[in-house]
């Protein structure tokens, strides 16, 4: 059987896209290779949001060129946001690429690959009008046996100055709610205890009268589902109905990723985020008023054009005020096709790196302090990974990682774990003696 190898850059949306490509290729007679050197087809799924995204693609293709010279039958595919953004220019810079598809054209990969093998020329499909939801859910080769991703919407209608997503994935398009519920029911029947709903601005979802809170309620009621998560949310689409859903639906995990990007009103306005610092803080207050122990994580960009030291300090202060469970900090880098690309990138790279390090270091200290306070408590952990010989890892409902001694038989099971040690990014625990009886004398996380 021919073999394929996938390399994925980017977010959970890209991971889910790669899972779709993998499933389609396996349905077309391919099997997965452990390394690119063993593959007949290598597919690189790209992200245009992170720093130096295009360079990562071309470096990856460059490493494959020598392999292709030694094995002329090897075919190389490129998909995702960089493919959509740069288009045919990818082939001019990397002529070794045989298949080029946008994020809405993944279902075409097997057919294009068959044509490439029959005709000695590159095949391109970047039609943004294509239906990105036409990959059957049964064809998706999920990368985790425990957590399944379900894309509920594509694209974004916001005009954030730094972001290329509206250009690469197009405007918002939502799947019918009944299709989402049917896919989740199918996944539960196949043994997945946890589902994560995906969208660039997932809480902007709407299908007729069904808003995102309504979708959560529909999915929550799928028999057998244990945990329900979603990402990524936009502060402008957090409503009292969504806050109520987080409070009222026990299978919806008390965790929310809510990007803020900056704590400075001046920078937020330049970014075109559509809210002020005060409005973001009020949104957090709304959520925590419903769910007191809600865990929040966020994205922050430092070094945005015009960001003065006072603007950066405002972000530092916001981090202290909100108390994020986790923080993803990025140094601004210009993206062709964005409105911010026309602004003067006026901060030296050295200063951007300093601000990243300062903010990351501060957040790590805060996380260490919070996690240390959890030692001695107990947590319900859904085991989702083998962490080494005799060790497993999993997530609490608040998405905290816990490592502890255990066998692979625990994979997919939810167990009570006593927390014995803490680092800034994960917890360590043990299965208490009374865990088999369900007895508990310590507080539950």
Q: How many CB atoms lie within 10 A of CB 195?
A: 24
Q: Is the pLDDT of residue 437 over 70?
A: no
User: Over the stretch 169-205, which tens digit does the pLDDT of each residue have?
Assistant: 889 999 999 999 999 999 999 999 999 999 999 999 9
Model confidence at 442, in pLDDT bands (50, 70, 90)?
very low
User: Over the stretch 9-31, which tens digit does the pLDDT of each residue have?
Assistant: 888 888 999 999 999 999 999 99
The CA distance from 85 to 195, in Å, is 30
Pairing of strands 206-207, 255-257: unpaired
CATH of domain 137-372: 3.80.30.20
- Do the beta carbons of residue 272 and residue 156 sit within 8 Å? no
CATH architecture of 378-436: Beta Barrel (2.40)
- Do the beta carbons of residue 22 and residue 45 sit within 8 Å? no
**Contacts of 13 by beta carbon, 8 Å cutoff, 6+ apart:** 103, 151, 198, 199, 200
The CA distance from 106 to 101, in Å, is 7
The CA distance from 261 to 265, in Å, is 11
The CA distance from 387 to 408, in Å, is 10
Q: Is the pLDDT of residue 436 over 50?
A: no
The CA distance from 348 to 338, in Å, is 20
Q: Quote the tokens at residue 369.
A: 């302090």
Share of the chain above pLDDT 70, in %: 96
Entry pTM: 0.92
The CA–CA distances, whole Å, from 159 to 126, 155, 164, 268, 340 equal 22, 12, 9, 12, 11
* CATH fold of 3-125: Rossmann fold (3.40.50)
Question: H or E element: which one contains 314?
Answer: helix 309-322
Taking residues 358-369, report their average pLDDT: 98
CA triple 129-148-36, angle to 5 deg:
75
The CA–CA distances, whole Å, from 88 to 41, 82, 124, 125 equal 20, 11, 8, 10
User: Over the stretch 31-62, which tens digit does the pLDDT of each residue have?
Assistant: 999 999 999 999 999 988 766 777 889 899 99
User: Over the stretch 65-124, which tens digit does the pLDDT of each residue have?
Assistant: 999 999 989 999 999 989 998 999 999 999 999 999 999 899 999 999 999 999 888 999
User: Over the stretch 259-286, which tens digit does the pLDDT of each residue have?
Assistant: 999 999 999 999 999 999 999 999 999 9
Taking residues 348-362, report their average pLDDT: 97
Instruction: Please give the pLDDT value at position 51.
Output: 61
Phi, psi of 103 (to 5 degrees): -65, -20
- Per domain, the residue ranges of the chain are 3-125, 137-372, 378-436
User: What is the chain's mean pLDDT, rounded?
Assistant: 93
């Amino acid at each position: 059987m021919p073999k394929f190898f996938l390399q994925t850059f980017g977010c959970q949306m890209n991971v889910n896209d790669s899972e779709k490509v993998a499933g389609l290729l396996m349905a077309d007679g391919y099997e997965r290779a452990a390394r690119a050197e063993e593959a007949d087809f290598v597919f690189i799924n790209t992200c245009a949001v992170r720093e130096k995204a295009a360079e990562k693609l071309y470096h990856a293709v460059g490493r494959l060129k020598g392999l292709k010279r030694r094995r002329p039958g090897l075919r190389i595919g490129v998909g995702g946001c960089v493919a959509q953004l740069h288009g045919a220019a990818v082939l001019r810079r990397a002529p070794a690429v045989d298949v080029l598809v946008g994020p809405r054209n993944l279902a075409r990969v097997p057919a294009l690959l068959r044509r490439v093998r029959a005709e000695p020329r590159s095949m391109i499909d970047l039609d943004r009008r294509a239906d990105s939801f036409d990959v059957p859910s049964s064809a998706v080769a999920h990368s985790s046996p425990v957590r399944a991703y379900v894309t509920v919407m594509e694209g974004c209608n916001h005009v954030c100055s730094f972001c290329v997503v509206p250009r690469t994935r197009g405007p918002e398009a939502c799947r019918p709610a009944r299709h989402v519920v049917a896919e989740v029911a199918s996944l539960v029947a196949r043994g997945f205890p946890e589902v994560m709903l995906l969208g660039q601005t997932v809480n902007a979802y709407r299908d007729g009268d069904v808003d995102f809170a309504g979708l959560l309620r529909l999915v929550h009621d799928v028999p057998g589902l244990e945990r329900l998560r979603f990402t990524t949310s936009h502060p402008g689409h957090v409503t009292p109905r969504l806050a109520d859903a987080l409070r009222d639906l026990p299978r919806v995990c008390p965790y929310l990723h809510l990007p803020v990007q900056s704590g400075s009103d001046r920078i937020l306005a330049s970014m075109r985020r559509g809210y002020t610092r005060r409005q973001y803080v009020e949104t957090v207050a709304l959520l925590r008023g419903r769910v007191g122990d809600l865990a929040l994580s966020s994205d922050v960009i430092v070094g945005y054009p015009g960001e003065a030291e006072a603007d950066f300090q405002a972000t530092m202060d916001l981090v202290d005020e909100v108390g994020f469970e986790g923080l993803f900090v990025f140094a601004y880098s210009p993206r062709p096709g964005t409105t911010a690309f026309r602004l003067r990138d006026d901060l030296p790279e050295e200063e951007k790196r300093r601000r990243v390090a300062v903010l990351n270091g501060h957040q790590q200290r805060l996380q260490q302090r919070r996690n240390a306070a959890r030692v001695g408590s107990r947590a319900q952990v859904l085991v989702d990974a083998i962490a080494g010989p005799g060790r497993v890892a999993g997530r609490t409902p608040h998405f905290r990682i816990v490592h502890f001694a255990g066998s692979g038989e625990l994979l997919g099971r939810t167990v009570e774990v006593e927390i014995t040690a803490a680092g800034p990014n994960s917890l360590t625990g043990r299965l208490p003696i009374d865990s088999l009886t369900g007895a508990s004398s310590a507080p539950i996380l």
